Chains A and B, each alone.
Chain A
Amino acid sequence: MKKMLAILLASAALTAPAAAQDDPVKVGMLQGFTGPTESLVRPMALGGEMAIQEVSDSGIFLGGRTVVSIRGDSTCIDAAAATAAADRLVTAEGVHGIVGATCSGASTAVLNNVARPNGMVMISPSATSPALSTIEDDGYFFRTAPSDARQGEIIGQILERRGIASAALTYTNNDYGKGLADAIQAAFEAKGGSITAVAAHEDGKADYSAEVGTLAAAGGEVLIVAGYLDQGGKGMIQAALDTGAFDTFILPDGMVGEALTDNFGGDINGSIGTNPGTDSPGAAMMAKLSEGKGFKGDDPYVPEAYDASAILLLAMQAANSTDPSVYKDKVFDVANAPGEQIFPGELKKALQILADGGEIDYVGGTALELIGPGESAGSFRETVIDGGQFTTVMYH
């Protein structure tokens, strides 16, 4: 066993520097193929690999090199497994960049233990924790998904614009709920609003009248429910309506869905929802591109995954190098203006422009705009419930 390991290590060490100019460029598709996100990840990986295939087929990537995707399982909750998988991709497979990881915890572990020490670029399509905005990354970490803090800001703006001065806040008692609730509270209070009370709710209870009673005692014009629409969030709304405590709700992304309006119909008319969404034609183009490929291009985080692969490879083309320490500085250039706008399916055009020394502004499936520490600014759709239906008001 020991001997075999030594041989494996030796061969890995031999192949890595031997990567010649005509060898395929390797992209690590490090996603949570097993665990809580397994249903989400299958189309995401396929979406990311669709962009890789597109670049590979173009024939003009870095002077005609092909690109292959190498999968690794980051799981979602097992940081050790994610680190091991990333380590394998970087040291044994010799990838030139990583698309992943799926979850915030796994991304943090991979960034700290593998990507930063090895100087490897990683672009996560779906890690949304605000903590990743401030993490030390030496410029190697990007994400095509917006931070939850961004949604908090959007909600703060919406409340301010609508003249709502006070609100009660409840969140589902987990990392997502707590992070989002903190972001909303900070943003709203920075704009002069007041959060009258904050109460966590546990999912999976039968009765939420006590939680609603507390929030009602504190008062507030609306109730912000940072929860899940098929879990405690629904129960909170039900209890609030039953007791007449609140009749208007602010609903972040976990609460926006038809199941909610099917359940409450017109009882929650006037409530406001926000969820990631864009009016750019990118998502529809993604749906069209994926036709006949066994997945849906506009499923959650699939456009983000496509965009992550795309900007990774476009940055390599712009830098004319597969060295992460070189092309990491080009990621912002290809993702943002100025330059020609690039939509899904137009990667060949983008590669040609870059090869000719031109500039591109990658729009992609998510209207991608990188800000601050290298994360998506995020497009959010503001909806209002009218006649028992979510109707779009505007995009932020």
Chain B
Amino acid sequence: MEILNALALFANFVFVPATAYGAQLALGALGVTLIFGILRFANFSHGEMMSFGAMASILATWGMQEAGVSIAPFPTALLALPIGVAAAIGMALATDRMVFRFYRKQRSNPIVMAIVSVGVMFVLAGIIRLIIGPDDQSFADGERFIINARDSRAALGLDEGIAIKQTQVITLVVALAVMSALFWFLQKTRSGKAMRAYSDDEDLALLSGISPERVVAICWIIAAALAAIAGTLYGLDKTYKPFIFMQILLPIFAATILGGIGQPVGAILGAFIVAYSEVMVTYAFRKVLAYLGPEGWAPEGLVQLLSTDYKFAVSFIILVAVLLIRPTGIIRGKVI
């Protein structure tokens, strides 16, 4: 019985939140890795693209709430998501047309492109703050919990409950659906194959009659859609605040590099590893150990590896460790 309590506690504070967080990171990391695979540069504006898509979703959600449109018990934001995706795609294509295309035509090296993307990031951040402001925005509606802590305690007959939020399940389901669709697209469709060919060898792809501008456009469309979905889900599950999308860039890049940059499977794997490490390293295991240990015993301290203040340090440590030990990341070989 005590072991079950320990498991329930672990699930409530580590497994459930880390899984949802991992799915959100995975969607973000997929976008970064895709851009790297096709366009060959680290896109720092991806975090703000997530924010931009989420912002468009929020504005659409508010409009729908105003008009009385609702899909209760599901959050209205799901209905507004396509609008957010469309807005992010529009913005991505516009920045490509106005900024990135110029440097691509110059055949600028990846470092120049990465710095350019930092500039795009700042401009996007400014636009977002002009439109929606720097404050917290809440837009979640519908049923909050699938099962809350109190009910699950009663249902399981345990001292510890497992709370599962609806947004966590939605995050996971949407992320799985989007990932499967992406892999199907890359493996089975003509355009997907063209993208992989372009990524493999640009010149050979050109000789085979693949239009580079078309491949680049598709790549931006997919990356922007992933960003908008990731941003909206993150905002829905936690809270939307423009500032945090600058912070979330770090775990996303850590996940991308850990998985092997340019590797979609690696990005997903890396995202979950980063998410679980962040949560587990900063979790205090005192109570879990107390349940596992003998009756009436509890560890003296909190049994916590790192204070929660150092959450972001975990991503840094992973980044440095990967670059030192296995610079190619977990999955090696051909990108995409």
Contacts and interface: CB of A to CB of B under 8 A. Distances in A.
Contacts of B129: none
Contacts of A131: none
Contacts, number: 83
A244 interface: yes
B7 to A, nearest CB: 15
A243 B15 CA distance: 12
B202 to A, nearest CB: 38
Interface string B123-155: 000000000000010000000110011100100
A210 B148 contact: no
Given A197-B302, A206-B238, A218-B302, A244 B12 contact: yes
A206 B163 contact: no
B308 A206 contact: no
Given A209-B17, A219-B287, A242-B165, A214 B241 contact: no
Contacts of B278: 210
Given A217-B286, A217-B287, A242 B163 contact: yes
A241 B219 CA distance: 41
A242 B144 CA distance: 9
Contact of B13 (A197, A200, A218, A243): A243
A235 interface: yes
Nearest to A197: B302
Contacts of A210: 278-279, 282-283, 308, 311
Interface in B290-336: 302-304, 307-309, 311
Nearest to B235: A206
A205 B285 contact: no
A292 interface: no
Chain A interface mostly = mixed
B82 to A, nearest CB: 23
Contacts of A200: 309
A213 interface: yes
A76 to B, nearest CB: 21
A214 B288 CA distance: 12
A244 B148 contact: yes
Contacts of B145: 242
B283 A213 contact: yes
B210 interface: no
B234 interface: yes
Contacts of A386: none
Instruction: Pick the most buried of A211, A213, A218: most chain B CB atoms within 10 A of its CB.
Output: A213
A243 B308 contact: no
A217 B302 contact: yes
A200 to B, nearest CB: 7
A173 B309 CA distance: 10
B149 A214 contact: no
Interface residues of A, number: 24
B161 interface: yes
Given A210-B282, A218-B284, A243 B309 contact: no
B163 A244 contact: yes
B70 interface: no
Contact of A206 (B149, B153, B241, B304): B241
A221 interface: no
Contacts of A199: 307-308
A234 to B, nearest CB: 8
A357 interface: no
Contacts of A219: 287
A206 B21 CA distance: 12
Contact of B234 (A206, A230, A243, A245): A206
A205 B13 contact: no
A209 B234 CA distance: 14
A216 interface: yes
B244 interface: yes
A214 B165 contact: no
B239 interface: yes
B293 to A, nearest CB: 14
Nearest to A199: B308
B122 interface: no
Interface in A201-246: 202, 204-207, 209-211, 213-214, 216-219, 230, 235, 242-245
Contacts of A209: 13, 17, 279
Given A214-B282, A214-B304, A204 B243 contact: yes
Interface in B135-186: 136, 144-145, 148-150, 153, 161, 163, 165
Given A210-B308, A217-B287, A243 B12 contact: yes
Contacts of B161: 244
B149 A243 contact: yes
Contact of B149 (A204, A230, A244): A244
Contacts of A211: 308
Given A199-B308, A243-B13, A244-B12, A214 B148 contact: no
A255 to B, nearest CB: 16
A204 to B, nearest CB: 6
Given A242-B165, A244-B163, A230 B287 contact: no
A214 B163 contact: no
A240 B144 CA distance: 14
A216 B287 contact: yes
A205 B282 contact: no
Contacts of B279: 209-210, 213
Nearest to B248: A206
B241 A204 contact: yes
A243 B238 contact: no
Nearest to B234: A206
A269 to B, nearest CB: 13
- Interface-centre pick from A204, A235, A244 (highest chain B CB count, 10 A): A244
A242 B243 CA distance: 23
Contacts of A235: 239
Given A213-B282, A214-B282, 18 more contacts: A197-B284, A197-B302, A206-B239, A206-B240, A207-B21, A207-B239, A209-B17, A211-B308, A213-B279, A217-B287, A217-B288, A217-B303, A230-B136, A242-B163, A242-B165, A243-B12, A244-B153, A245-B13
12 contacts: A206-B240, A213-B279, A213-B308, A214-B308, A216-B13, A217-B287, A218-B284, A242-B144, A242-B165, A244-B12, A244-B148, A244-B163
The 3 lowest CB-CB distance pairs between A and B, nearest first, are: A244-B149, A217-B284, A206-B238
